[in-house]
Each structure stands twice: as C-alpha cells, then as structure tokens.
Amino acid sequence: MFNDNWSTEQIERELALKFSVLMSDQQSDQSFDQVTSSKEIVELAGVLSRMSDVLDNQSLFQSEIRSLRDEVAALREGRGEWERAQQVELESLRTELVSLRRRFSGRGDAGGIDFPPADFLASPLVIASGGEFLGVQGKGKKAFSLEDFVHLIERKESDHVGVETSWRQQDAHWVLVVRTEDAETGREQAVVLVAKKTITPSKNTVTEIIRLNIDGNDAPDALLLTLFRQLRMVFNG
C-alpha cells in the first residue's frame, strides 16, 4: 500500500476493515463448531440415558426373579413341612387306632372289637413252601410282619380308592377281610387272608399265611411266592 502511495490513514482504515471481516469469519466458524459439539453432546446424553434405563430395568427384572425364586423355595419348604406334619399325624392316628383295637380285643361283650393280639401282628409273616418257611427280611434285620402288610393295604386308600378292613377269629385262625372300591371305575375287590400262629423247627414264633383268597379264588403257591418277592422289593426299598 505504501508502494501505491497510500497515506497512513488509508492503510489503517483498509487494515481495520479486512481484520474485522477476518474476525467475523472466525467467530462464525467457532459458533458452528460449538453448535455441532452441543448437538453431539445432547445425542450422547440421550444414548447414555437410554442405556441407564435399560440397566435399571435389567436390575429390576433380576431383583424380581430373585424374589420369585425365594418365594418358590419358601413354598416348597412349606409344602415339605406340611407333608411331614401330615405324615406324623397319620402315623399318630394309626398308632391310636391300633391301641384302641388292642384295648378292646378279646372282649366277649357285644361292644367288643374282634382284633388279633399285638404279638400275632408283630410276628414275622411267612408262607410254607417245600417244607420251609419263607419270610421277608427288611433293613435293620426287621422282619416283615402282618401289621406291616395291613399298613401297606391301608396306604392304598385315597380320594379315589376306598379301603375297608375287618377282622374275625375262626378257631385258632385269624381272618383278615379287605374290601376295596375304585370310585372312578366302580370296580370292587375282596381279599381274604387267613393266618395262624406257628412255631418253626428252630423254635421261632411266626405268623403263617395258610390261605389267600382274591375275589372268591384261592391264590396258588406260585402267586404267594410272587407276592412275597414283591413285598421284599417294597420293604427293602
């Protein structure tokens, strides 16, 4: 500008004008960059917020799942305790029933209950086969007794199956009559078991089954052997 013979005032005005245009351009660029950065920050904040919501929901779901698992475990434990309590109560009722039967057994009055003595029920239950007495030996060297046999029959009773048992004494024998009825099918079954007290050659007192009748048909020896094999599996299971 000096080479073109510009005065100092002219040069100053020209420089001031160009400088102001340059500063305006820079400020515009900076404003655009700031707007762009602010928009990216807002978008990033939105993404972070959504991620936070997802994590919160996931934590809530996990907490609900843990709560449901705890509730199911508590229900299972409560059911187990209820079943154990029912079993204890059932055993108590059975014991009370046996006690009542024993108390009234042997009475000759009309109100007496015909029921075998305790030692007859508790003696090992056997059958005679080939000159030998066969029984069922359970765990702990406990022999399967007539009382155990009656308990197995009574366990069949449910809402759908009715079970009725009765005793009567016939000479030196005891006769157990079991009647079952299926409520769904209407099918009835009558089982008659005749047993007596026997002393084995080894001087052991046992309860011997001398007859088993099912629906009017006497069971053969082979069926009795099969029955005792099944009893061994159940009693030792």
Give 140-181 pLDDT, tens digit per residue.
668 889 888 888 888 877 778 888 888 989 888 999 999 988
Distance from C-alpha of 41 to C-alpha of 29, rounded to nearest angstrom: 18
Residues 76 and 169 in one domain: no
Q: Which residues pair with 173 in a beta bridge?
A: 170, 196
Predicted local confidence at residue 108, as pLDDT: 41
Predicted local confidence at residue 135, as pLDDT: 86
Model confidence band, residue 46 (pLDDT cutoffs 50, 70, 90): confident
Residues 133 and 89 in one domain: no
In a domain, 217, yes or no: yes
Mean pLDDT of 34-58: 71
Q: Residue 102 is which amino acid?
A: R
Predicted local confidence at residue 32, as pLDDT: 52
54 pLDDT more than 70: yes
- Residues 136/123, Cβ–Cβ less than 8 Å: no
Q: pLDDT tens for residues 59-73?
A: 777 888 888 888 888
Residues 100 and 129 in one domain: no
- Residues 148/228, Cβ–Cβ less than 8 Å: no
Model confidence band, residue 92 (pLDDT cutoffs 50, 70, 90): confident
Q: What six digits make up the tokens of 164?
A: 């009725």
Residues 91 and 147 in one domain: no
Residues 73 and 136 in one domain: no
In a domain, 113, yes or no: no
User: 113: number of CA atoms within 13 Å, CB side?
Assistant: 15
Residues 127 and 230 in one domain: yes
Q: Which residue has the higher pLDDT, 94 or 168?
A: 168
Residues 228 and 124 in one domain: yes
Structural domain including 56 reads 1-104
What is the total count of domains within the chain? 2
Q: What six digits make up the tokens of 56?
A: 């919160």
Q: Which residue has the higher pLDDT, 69 or 111?
A: 69
Q: pLDDT tens for residues 185-227?
A: 888 999 999 999 999 988 999 999 999 999 999 988 888 888 8
Distance from C-alpha of 8 to C-alpha of 5, rounded to nearest angstrom: 9
Structural domain ending residue among the three candidates 79, 104, 129: 104
Helix ranges (H only) for the chain are 8-104, 118-122, 146-154, 221-236
Residues 145 and 82 in one domain: no
Residues 51 and 157 in one domain: no
In a domain, 111, yes or no: no
Q: What is the SS3 assignment for 160?
A: coil
